[in-house]
Structure formats: C-alpha cells, structure tokens
Chain A
Amino acid sequence: MAFLELDSLTKTFPGHRAVDGLSLSLSRGEVLALLGPSGSGKTTTLRLLAGFESPDSGRVVVDGEDVTTTPPVRRRFGMVFQHYALFPHLDVGENVAFGLESLGVRGPALAARVAASLALVDMTGFERRRVDQLSGGQQQRVALARALAPEPRVLLLDEPLSNLDPALRERTRRELRGLIRRVGITAVIVTHEQEDAFDVGDRVAVLRGGQLIQVGTPDELYANPRTAFVAAFIGRASEIPARLLAADAVEVEGIRWPVPWPGPELVGAGQPVLVLARPESLRLGAEGDGRVRGVVIGRRFIGPTAHFTVRTDGGAVVEVAALAGAAREGDRVGIEPAGTGLHLFPADVA
C-alpha cells in the first residue's frame, strides 16, 4: 500500500517542461533517491512535493489524502534545503523551535522537544549557539533537526550533501542514512551524485528531461540498466559501436563478442548497436587474434588495479580494468569481454 504517491505530475515553466508525467510511489518508511543530471527535473519534483510549486496536472497523495493543492504551510512535509536555509538571526534552539511553535508547542514541552531533536542529530547542548558559528556539517544536522522536530509526514532533502567537502561527505552520508532509518520516516532525497543516491536510497529513480527513466534498487539499476543513459550515468561505462549478429552476439571491429540482447524487441541482425561496457567487464591482453586491437593512451590508478584507457584501431575509446602493471602508455593491446557487465542498446538512442 503506497504511503506517498506521485501521480503523473507535470510542470511546465515558460519555455520548457521541467517534469513530464512523473509517477512514483513510496511505501511507508521507504527512502527514495531522485537521481539525475542538472536540468533533469529532480529539484522541481521535490518542490512539487513540498508545495512550493503547483503542478499543471497530476496529483500528490500522502496516506490517502490528496495534498496537491495544500499550501506548504499545512502540508506537514519537512524539508532540508541545499544551503540549509537556517534563519541567520535565530540561534540553533530557536531555529529548531520554529516549526514546533507553529504547532502551538510552548514552554517546557517546547524546550524538551528541541532538546530531543538536537539529541537525535547528536547536537545536544548547542541550543544557544549562533548558526554562523557552526561548521558545514553541524549546520546540516541542525537543518535536519529543524525539519524533523515537528514530526512531518514526509522528509524532503534537496542535495543535502553537496555543500560538504569530500572527506566529511562520506561520513555525513552514513549518519544521514542511519538517522533516517532510525526515525523511520518516509523520505525523498534529491541528488546528482550516484554514490549519495545508492548509499541513502532504498530505491533510486533516475530522471532525465523531466521523465522517469528507471526506478529500482541500486543493484537492479547497476545490473540491468534499461537504457544507455542509465548505464552511463550509473557507474563507469564505455560506449563501443558494434553491429548485431544474432540474439546473443555482436561484432566489434571485426571481432565476434558474445553479448546477449536483453530487450524483447529485437533489432534486426546486421543493424548497428551500442555496447556499454563496465571497466571490469573487459579484459586486457596481448594484441592478438580474437581481441579488439588498440593502443593504451592513459592509465588511472585505483589501488592494486588500474583503469586503462585504450583507443581501438576503430577509433572507440574504452576503459578497461586490469592489474596496475598490466601495460604501459603507448603499448599495443587487445581487448576481450570478461563475463557480465556488457549491455546492448540500439545505436540511435544514446
């Protein structure tokens, strides 16, 4: 039974359609990540959910109640803003108390709930601090405490990690995930970083041009990307032009690669297709028969292995994972498939 439902939401701004018939549903306590490049409509979707924008058509339903036209003031959705939007003239405690005061909480009860909310984000005792005295990570936690204090029905997070430096980011991401799970709140998080989405979201919805491209668990998305865009956007993947030979094989620069065609609608044999290859799904070897030939033009260390950039004689640029010492720049090499992780798509849809 869906707790939060987005039903064919559409929003057009002058000149472009930001959200185009988007439908999604979340069960109670589920965390959904909206993932997409900038301009994909993910932030607009979040603002439609919060009530800051109203959709041209479509509905937002929470717990059976249609809130599409409910103004944000009465929607009881908590929001963590990208730049946190902490009130600069109020201290930490007053910021957290703000939403509770709207509900009429006063006196000792107010103080107790503010303290509880701050304890939740591990900021006990920070009530009288000015917000400009806090670090970025602390501001983020205060923003979270402020949003959660009035016990909203849904928590919305707009790129909550984008203002943090990389070292802090990973830790904060873990804390954020832990906290949302602990509270058990239904949440939607917007991000353009695949790692954030995969780490925090139970499911991930990939958006592009205002449309939902694919939604699923991180594993599903990685293993079975529905389009070349999803495959390229999630994890690293190289595009290799090829020609379909049969339902289970393609031809790459004259070499036959066994790659199964996933989709129901078969592109005719002999038609051009695109192979999306994860670095670890290819193997680097000596130049020889049965391998696509090319030259190593770059190498990037990742611990014991490295990603080698190879330009094939046919002109494709391909990333291949191998042991760091496997080749040097300028070496001539051969590439062959190494099991799963290769995906086929029609060539005209990039």
Chain B
Amino acid sequence: MRDRARLWAWLLAAGLAWLVVYPLLLVMVDGLREPGGWTLQHVDRFVSRPGEWQALWASLWLSLASVVLSAAVGVPLAFLFERVDFPGRAFLGVLVALPAVLPPLVGVIAFLFLYGETGFTARFVQWLLRLDEPPWRLAGPGAILLVHAYSMYVYFFLFCRAGLARLDGSMLEAAQALGAGRWRTLWSVVLPHLRPALAGASLLTFMTSLASFSAPYIFGGGYKVMTTQIVFTRLNGDDRLAMVETAALSLLALGALWVFRRADPGGALAAVGKGTAPALARVGSLGTRRAIAALAWVLAGILLLPHLTLLVVSFVPSGTWTTEPIPPAYSLANYLALFQEPERFRPLANSLWMATLATGVAAAVALGAAILVVRRRVPTGRLIEALIGLPWAVPGTVFAIALAALFSVHDPLRLRFVLVGTLWILPLAYLVRILPITGRAIFAGFRHLDPSLEEAAASLGADRRRTLRRVVLPALRPALAAGATLAFVTALGDFVTSIMLYTYETRPISLEILASLRQGDVGVAAANGVFLMLASAVVFALGARREARG
C-alpha cells in the first residue's frame, strides 16, 4: 500500500514537473540558444535596449503603486464595513466585494465604457462644456494604475475584513482598560493584528499587477510593461528575444515573492484571534448614522459604476451610439445575436467547455495530490505541493510563452508534442494556470479535515473507495466548491494565455470581446462581458449555496 502511494506520488511529481517546470526551463534555455549552439546574443540585445529596461521598471513601479493605491481604497472600506453598523451594511458588503470574482478583462472594458475617451463620463463632460474633442484620453501609466486600484482594492477589503472579524473584542477592551486611547489601540493593537492580512493582500496585489495584461494591453498605448512587451516582441516574430524577456519577468516575479517571504516570515500573529468578534461601533446620533450609510452607498456606487455601465452598453445596438452623451437606443439585439448566430455563440461555448474541462482535471489532480501529500505523507509531498503552487508565482504571459515553446515541436524523446493549434492547448494552459487555485483550496480543506473521520469509517468496515465517496468528498465539499468555482471563473475569463495560444476554432470569450472592440461593436463586446459577469456570479452563487448546505 505504502509503496503504491509512493509510486503514484513520483508519477504525479514527474507529470507536474513536465507541465510546470519543464516549459519554464525550455524558455530559459531557448533564450540562450541558436541553431548553431549557445549564445549570449539575445541577452545582449535585451540588456542593451533601453525599451526593455523601461518596461521592466514600469512593471515594478506600477505594481508597487498599485499596492499603495489599492490599500488606500480597500483598508478604510474594510474598517467602515466591519466596524461601523449602518443600514444596508450586509448587502453592500457583498456588492463591494464583487469585483473579486470578475475576470480582469471585464473590469477593463467596463472602465473603458465609463471613463474612456468615448465613455459616458468623457462624453458627458464634452457635452456639458461644448468641447469639440473628448476632454481626455484614458491612456498610459495613470490609466493602468487607476484600473488596477479599481479592481484590486478588493484584496485589501476582503483580507482586512476577515482580519478584523477575527479580532478578539476582549483584546480591544483590554487595551481600553489599560488606558490606551482610540489611536493608540488602533496603532498598537489593531494594526499589528492586521499585519498578516495586509501582507497577504499586498503580495496578492503585487503579483496580480506584475502579471496584469488586460489593463496595459488596452490602456497602455505606447507605454509598455513587461507582459505587453513580451506579447509585442513575439508578434513581431522575434521569438528568442521574447524568451529572454519572459525569463526576465519570471525572475522579477520570483524575486519579488522571495523578498515578500523574507519580510514577513510566517505571519506569527496569524494564529492568534479566537474569541468573540468586537461589537460593532454604534455610531452616536441618527444623523451621523445616516451620513455614514449615505457615504457607504456613494462609495459602493462609484466602485460598481463601471459594471453597471457595462450592463447599459450591452443593450446598445451596433452603430446607434455616435455623438450623443447617452445612447439613444436600447434593445436585446446584442444578446439575441450572441445566442442565435453560430459564429457569435461559438466563443461562449468554447470558453464554457474548456473551462469546465480544465476545472474538472485541476480539481481531480489537486484532490489526488492532497490525499497523497496530506494523508499518505509521501516523501515527495513538499515537492508536489511546490509544483502545484508554482504557476501562481509566474505571470500568465510567461506560461503562455513557455507552453507555446514546449508544445510546438514534435520530439517525443524530449517529451515534446505538437499541441499548439489544436483543441487541447488552451484547456491545458488553463489547467496549469488554475492548478494553484484548486490546489490551495483542497489542500487547506484536507488539512482541516479531522483524520479520525477516515479512521472511523475504516473501523466501521468501509474500504478506501467507500470512505472517499461517503466521508471524504462530502466533508471536503465546501473546499472543493470554493476552489472549483474560483478556478472555473478564472479559466472562463482568461485573456492573457488565450491571446497567445488560441486558434480561430477555439477562440474564447475574451478574444471575441477584443475583436468586437476593434470592430467598434461595443454592444457585442459588452454583452459578452455581461455574460462572463453573469456566469461568474451564477457559479459563485451555486458554490456558496452548496457551502451553506454542506
């Protein structure tokens, strides 16, 4: 039994290494090769071009600035929602967290429709001031940063809220009893307690920004960050240089991860925090309460406005909205086209089946890995867990390039097969990208699972299969549901790997959105965006209901 578990573990580790590490190594090596042999020529080209350094620097400072801005929005919002009681708090709290479940591309085009040069706001200002030109162009680093802050504040909001909810109320009372004023309590009790949450949100925001592709691609214009630089280099046919750029970006990502881990080793306070949650501050007068409620509604409104805009634009028929500040006509034409014209429906179907397949496989792999690592405690456990988590630290662009490199050559002896251009490359790429998501959820679920449940089943005569089916899977259902829904939504809305690996037959929703935008079909693009938004919401609602029931 033990030997068989070990064998499975080795096979799994080897398979994961082939899918996760091997492509990255290929990229590193390919950047150093020429048909004749080894060369540093491409590295030289990379190092000697100012544009490359600018892109690298842009990626770095934009990511750091995104962390600061997102924190500036998300942390106060978390305090407002977690510490102050006001009417509509529960409902708004859910609404404000919504962008967390939306694909980045949806947020980006929503932003475009609201604040872009032909968006509602610009048109309104133009109409108001009777300008001939749109009052601004939404482009460059400022625009990217704005979109990042807009979509990534959610990490700080959610992490801080969870941290505040875990705060033991008696700790605050103890601080007050010891004579600490409001600010001292905040500074020396609350903030240290929130440190792990802040560190976690910062890391997540930083890595997400570094890997961000949709926002720089749509809003960057001539301003390049590393992810867009790689794609353009590749589109120019300079594969070798793209490899070097890819290597540089992955080193930056892994380096950043290393620095974060060093700066916050372990998060010693993470375990603290049992007891009762602190009482909500009942803000004094009715007037103040109303004012705070109004403020919260306004904030939530501003944060959700882009998505409402998307909904509105999705009802605008093609070609009817030209110079008016507000679209003059509305109809269901875009949606009808989506479901009636086979060519328009195809991307939806593609995204759905590819995301479903990738999610199913990712969940199964994570489950098998968790059984081997957590329960059987195979010697290769740490390796397997690291391999499953690795794609999280590597930007999607990098993996797209790497997988394209691995699967564009037929060389079975070197374990390379031609998958690029087939149906299977995108589901495979999605699988690699979402493995860390299902992995983290299912590993955490398994670690929380009381091992005596399985022992009880065994002592009651249930064999492995029956124990898995009747005891383990039902008990893991919340973790499975959480991991699978997030993974599914990520795969469904994927843009960054798709743009590198899609074929016309397998084009997913994100590329249909891009194509519609290019053709000026904003309504169709918006309708696709709304479909992504709704699909995500439905999947999440299903997952949440399962969780509540299970």
Q: Which residues of A contact B (CB under 8 A)?
A: 50-52, 71-79, 81-83, 85-90, 98-99, 102-103, 146-147, 150
Contact = CB atoms under 8 A, between A and B. Distances in A.
B470 A81 contact: no
Nearest to B549: A89
B461 A79 contact: no
B455 A102 contact: no
A89 B459 contact: no
14 contacts: A51-B459, A52-B455, A73-B458, A73-B461, A73-B462, A75-B459, A79-B456, A86-B456, A89-B475, A89-B550, A102-B461, A146-B460, A150-B460, A150-B461
Contacts of B174: none
A50 B460 contact: no
B105 to A, nearest CB: 38
Nearest to B473: A89
A73 to B, nearest CB: 5
Interface in B448-491: 450, 452-453, 455-463, 466, 470-471, 474-475, 477
Contacts of B456: 79, 81, 85-87, 146
Contacts of A146: 456, 460
A98 B462 contact: yes
Given A83-B450, A87-B475, A77 B457 contact: no
B343 to A, nearest CB: 45
Given A98-B470, A102-B466, A85 B452 contact: yes
A50 B456 CA distance: 10
B476 to A, nearest CB: 10
- Closest 3 A/B residue pairs (Cβ): A102-B461, A99-B460, A85-B452
Given A81-B452, A81-B456, A85-B455, A103 B461 contact: yes
B477 to A, nearest CB: 8
* B: interface residue count bin: 10 to 19
B375 to A, nearest CB: 12
B244 to A, nearest CB: 46
Contacts of A89: 474-475, 477, 550
Contacts of B466: 102
A88 B449 CA distance: 11
Given A50-B455, A76-B461, 4 more contacts: A87-B456, A87-B470, A99-B460, A99-B462
Contacts of A147: 459-460
Given A87-B471, A88-B475, A89-B474, A71 B455 contact: no
A257 B543 CA distance: 76
Most buried by A among B450, B452, B456, B471: B456
Contacts of B475: 87-89
Interface string B344-355: 000000000000
Given A98-B470, A102-B466, A87 B459 contact: no
Contacts of B457: 87, 98
Nearest to A86: B456
A198 B82 CA distance: 52
A25 to B, nearest CB: 22
Contacts of B461: 73-74, 76, 99, 102-103, 150
A78 B466 CA distance: 18
Nearest to B452: A85
B473 to A, nearest CB: 10
Nearest to A88: B475
Interface string B162-181: 00000000000000000000
Contacts of A90: 474
Nearest to B459: A79
